[in-house]
Amino acid sequence: MRLAMTLLLSTLNLSTLFASPALAFEGVLEASLSSEQGVAAQVRARYSKAGDVRMDIQSTDENGAPVQATTIMPSEGEHYYSIAHDKKLIVEVPYSVLSTRSKQVTGSGDNANLEMKKLGREVVSGVETRHIRVIDKDNRTIIDLWLTQKYPADLWTRAFRGRNLGLEMSDDERSKAMKKYGIAPGFSMKMRVEQAGGVPVVFLVKKVQRVPIPPSVFALPEGYERIVGPADSQP
């Protein structure tokens, strides 16, 4: 399921294309990742008014035991933190690593071999959305997005920027690819990814709520070992 997670998360930036600057969002996002085998992970992201982000992913290991991983991304400073609670380990990673990764993403939006379909409107978790299907012919992948303008389009990018998503194309290049098809910006309430020969995976947002988030949520846990990780280090 780790491969499925990577594949699905690598599509998250599609929903942030052409996003207009939004007022600072403070609140919580809750979602699930599932496949035909059932729910594989629960995701909870929290955002401070100052721009800090904490993302918690609850999943299970090969033995069915619960595993929780956390990423804390401060709005200030030069590092973010990946936390493995089962190992009581904090890995400190420079934000510069994200810049290095973005330079390695070289796919061209001008040459993207995509087909877009607008499939109408649907209600997802109580929110009206636009259903868009993206057919990536080069990678033999079908991506369904259910988009809304009710929430800031960059919430996904902010939550997952500390994870190695394996993107083939940068946001700017994806913008070029999508702009040709007249796709309006939006936040993805639901995403479904199906790759040839793979198991379809679905990301479903259960709730987005604007609520005050106390600063303590973004503090590093005490009693954990703290190390400086290599460029691709994620516990």
Residue 234 lies in a domain: no
Predicted TM-score of the model (pTM): 0.75
Exposure string of 184-219, with b = 16+ CB inside 10 Å and e = fewer, is ebbbbbbbbbbbeeeeebbbbbeebeeeebeeeebe
pLDDT at position 110, please? 52
> What is the sign of the dihedral through the CA atoms of 157, 161, 110 and 137?
negative
Domain of residue 40, CATH code: 2.50.20.10
Residues 6+ apart with CB under 8 A from 53: 45, 46, 47, 71, 72, 73, 158, 159
Confidence band, pLDDT 50/70/90 cuts, at residue 100? low
Tokens of 123: 């209600």
Q: Residue 164 pLDDT > 80, yes or no? A: no
pLDDT of residue 228: 87
Instruction: Establish if 97 belongs to a structural domain.
Output: yes
Using a pLDDT cut of 90, give the percent of the chain over it: 31
> What's the pLDDT score for residue 120?
93
pLDDT value at 96 more than 90:
no
Residue 130 located in a structural domain? yes
- 88 located within any domain: yes
Q: Has residue 202 got a pLDDT over 50?
A: yes
* Arithmetic mean of pLDDT over the chain: 76
pLDDT tens digits for 68-77? 889 999 988 8
What residue numbers bound the domain in which 105 lies?
A: 2-228
Residue 205 belongs to a domain: yes
Q: How many domains does the chain have?
A: 1
For residue 22, tell me if it sits in a domain. Answer: yes
Q: What is the model's pLDDT at position 3?
A: 40
